[in-house]
Amino acid sequence: MKRSRIREAQRSRGHQERPSTDGLRLLFAVMVSLLIVAAFLINLVAGLLAQRYELTLDLTANAAYQIGEETRALLQGLDRDVEIYVLATEDGFAGSAYLVQAQRILEQYPRISSRVTLTYVDAISDPTFAARFPQLTLAQGNVLVICGDRLRQLQLVDLFNIHQSQTGGMAIRSSRAEEALSSAILHVTSGEQVRVAVLVGHGMATTEAFARLLVANNYELAEVNLATDALDDTYDLALLLAPRIDLSEEALSKLDAFLYNNGTYGKTLFYSADVAQEQLPNLAAFLSEWGLVVDEGAVFETTPGRTYQVQPYYPVAEYVDATYREQLIDTSAPVLMPLARPLTVLFEARDGRFNEVLLQFSETSGVRPAEAVDGFTVEQAERWGPLPALVLANRRIYGTTGVTQYRSNLVVSASTAMLDAFSIENTSLANGDYLLNLLNDLCERTDVVSIRPKSLAGETLALSTAQGNTWGMVLAGVLPLAILAAGLVIWLVRRHQ
C-alpha cells in the first residue's frame, strides 16, 4: 500500500516536471536561433562596411598595406569619374604576399573616393570585354585605368620592382602598386603631359629601368634618331645617354636648336657619361660651350664608408645643393654613382650661362688614369676630390625686371650606371627619387606624386662599410669580452663575501 502511494507520487511529480523540461528546450532552441540570426546579421553588416571602409589594421613598420596621404589627397580632389578594371578574379591575388598587398591597395581607392569604381573582370569567361579595347593587347593581370576617353594600361609587373635573383630567376624586390595606380589616375585625369625624346643611334646606352621610372610617372617617351628624325618643340626633355660614337655637326645643331627653341627656351637636355666611352671631340666642344668638360679616367673612392660594399669604383655622392635633397622622403638615403667619369666645371657664370654642382664625390675620391694598367695603386692617381658628380647648367634670359624670363637646362651626370635597375630601383638609394625631383622641377611639372616603393621583407640595416666593420668588432669582440669581465667580477665579489 505504501509502495503504491510512493509510485503514484513519483508519477505525479514526473507529470509536473515534464512541462518545465520542455520549456527549457524551447528556450534553448530560441537562443540558438537568435545567435544564428545575429551572426548572419553581423557578417552581413561587416561585409557591407568592408566594401566602404577599411576594417583591418596594418601593423607593418612602413604601412605597406595602406595608401599614403598624398594618394588620399589626390582621390579626395577628383572631380571626374575614374574606372579601374582588373583583368583577374578576386581570389586570383593569392600565393604571394606581394599580390595580396597589391590587391589591398587596389581595393582602398573606391573606399576613399566615390568617384572611383573597381571592377574585377575574368577575361577568360568574358571574352567580350576585350572587344571594347581593340587598340590594346590585353593579358591576364592587366589593370586598366579609364577617365572619359583617356586610358592607361598597367601590366601586372608594373605594380612591382623586379630584379634578377642569384639563382637567375626573377624576384620581387618591392611593391610600387600605389605609385603606379596613383600616377595612372593622374595621367587620365590631367591634360598635362611631358614628352621625352630618347635619343638613339651613335651607340647610345639603353637604360630600361630609367625608362620605366619615367613612364610610371607620366612621362611620354619616344625614340628619336638625330640622324633621321626631327627633334622639334613638342618634346620637353631629351636624353643623351653615353654615346659611343661622336655626334656629327648636324646632330649637335639639332641639340642647339632644341635648347634655343626659337628664342623661347624652356627645354632640358640630360647627358650622362660612361667610363667605356672613347674620345668624342665634337660632343666635347658642345659641352665646353656650356662650361663643362668630361675628362678621361674613372672615379674611385678610398674611404670604404663612402662606397657600396667596399667597391672603390661604386662611390656614393655627397649632396651639395639641398633643394632636391629636402624633397626626398628619406633625406639620409645616398645617391650611388657607379663607374663614373671625372667632370670639370670651367666657370660658374659667363654670358648668361650658369653652372651649379648638385652632387659631388668626396675629398678622398680620386681619378684612375685611362691608360692605367692592372697594377694601379692610389698613389698613381692624377687628380683628387672633391669632384663634380652631377652638374646643372642653364642658359637664362632675364626680363626687364631682372627676373629670369626664359631658361633652358643641360644636366650632366658623371655616371650612366646610376640609371641602371640596381641603382634606380634600389629602395635603399635615392637615385630614382632624386632624379624625378630634379626633372619634375626643370620641366615645371605640377601633376606629380612621390610615393616610395614598399618592401615586405625585413628592413635592411642602412650602414656604411666603416659602420659595419665597427659594429662587427663591437658585437664579435667588445661585447663578449665585456660580458666575460662582468661575470668574472660578480664571481670574485661572491667568493669574498
Per-block mean pLDDT, blocks of 10 residues, the chain (497 long): 55 54 76 82 68 55 76 90 92 82 91 93 81 86 91 87 65 82 87 88 92 87 93 95 96 96 95 95 96 96 89 95 87 93 95 95 94 84 93 88 84 97 86 93 80 64 60 81 85 79
Residue 291: per-residue pLDDT? 96
266 and 336 within one domain: yes
Dihedrals phi, psi of 429, to nearest 5 degrees: -115, 160
Q: Are 267 and 234 in contact (CB under 8 A)?
A: no
Identify whether residues 175 and 236 lie together within a single domain.
Answer: no
Q: Tell me, what's the pLDDT at 15?
A: 52
**Does the residue 111 lie in any domain?**
yes
Q: What angle do CA 339, 340, 345 make, to 5 degrees?
A: 175
In a 3-state reduction of DSSP, which class is residue 494? helix
Question: What does the pLDDT read at residue 260?
Answer: 95
Q: Are 398 and 371 contained in the same domain? A: yes
Strand segments, DSSP code E, in 320-384 are 335-336, 343-345, 349-350, 353-361, 365-368
CATH of the domain at 315: 3.40.50.880
Look at residue 468 and tell me if it is in a domain. Answer: no
What pLDDT sits at residue 287? Answer: 97
Q: Are 393 and 292 in contact (CB under 8 A)?
A: yes
Of 271, 224, 274, 275, whose CA–CA distance to 251 is shortest?
224
Residue 101: CATH number of its domain: 3.40.30.10
296 and 352 fall within a common domain: yes
C-alpha 321/C-alpha 431 separation (Å) is 15
Residue reference for cell 612602413: 62
Helix, strand, coil percentages, rounded to 5, for the chain: 40, 25, 40
Q: Mention every residue, 6+ apart, whose C-beta is less than 8 A from residue 299.
A: 313, 315, 337, 340, 341, 342, 361, 365, 366, 367, 368, 387, 389, 414
Distance of CA 366 to the CA centre of its chain: 31
Asked whether the CA dihedral 387, 392, 395, 400 is positive or negative, the reply is negative
What is the spatial distance between Cα 310 and Cα 120, in angstroms, rounded to a whole number?
48
Q: Does 237 lie in the same domain as 101?
A: no
SS3 256: helix
- Beta strand 298-301 pairing with 268-272: unpaired
**CB 195: neighbour CB atoms within 10 A?**
16
**Distance of alpha carbon 73 from alpha carbon 21, whole angstroms:** 63
Q: Is residue 424 part of a domain?
A: yes
Q: Domain ends where: 427, 442, 457?
A: 442
Q: Domain total for the chain?
A: 2
Q: Is residue 282 part of a domain?
A: yes
| Domain shared by 317 and 375, yes or no | yes
Of 141, 170, 191, the one marking the end of a domain is 191
How many Å apart are CA 384 and CA 368, to the nearest integer? 10
Q: Which of 220, 208, 238 is nearest to 419 (CA)?
A: 208
| Together in a domain, 182 and 241 | no
Strands 335-336 and 311-319: antiparallel
Judge if 137 and 96 occupy the same domain.
yes
Q: Same domain, yes or no, for 181 and 329?
A: no
Cα(30)–Cα(23) distance, rounded to whole angstroms? Answer: 11
- What is the CB-side half-sphere exposure of residue 170 using CA atoms within 13 A? 4
Give the N- to C-terminal CA distance of the chain in Å, as an integer. Answer: 90
DSSP 8-state secondary structure symbol assigned to residue 384:
B
In a domain, 338, yes or no: yes
In a domain, 487, yes or no: no
Domain that holds residue 343: 193-442
Q: Does a structural domain hold residue 42?
A: no
Domain endpoint, select from 398, 427, 442 = 442
- Asked if 250 contacts 231 with a C-beta cutoff of 8 angstroms, the reply is no
DSSP category for residue 341:
P
Residue 114 within a domain: yes
Residue 412 sits in the same domain as residue 323: yes
Among 390, 392, 371, 393, smallest CA distance to 382 is for: 371
Q: Contact 108/117 with Cβ under 8 angstroms?
A: no
**What's the pLDDT at 161?**
76
Q: Report the pLDDT value the prediction gives residue 41, as an integer from 0 to 100.
A: 78
95: left (phi over 0), alpha (psi -120 to 50) or beta: left
User: Do 172 and 277 share a domain, yes or no?
Assistant: no
How high is the pLDDT of residue 197?
Answer: 96
Tally of helices (H runs) and strands (E runs) in the chain: 11, 21
**Judgement on whether residues 245 and 336 belong to the same structural domain of the protein:** yes
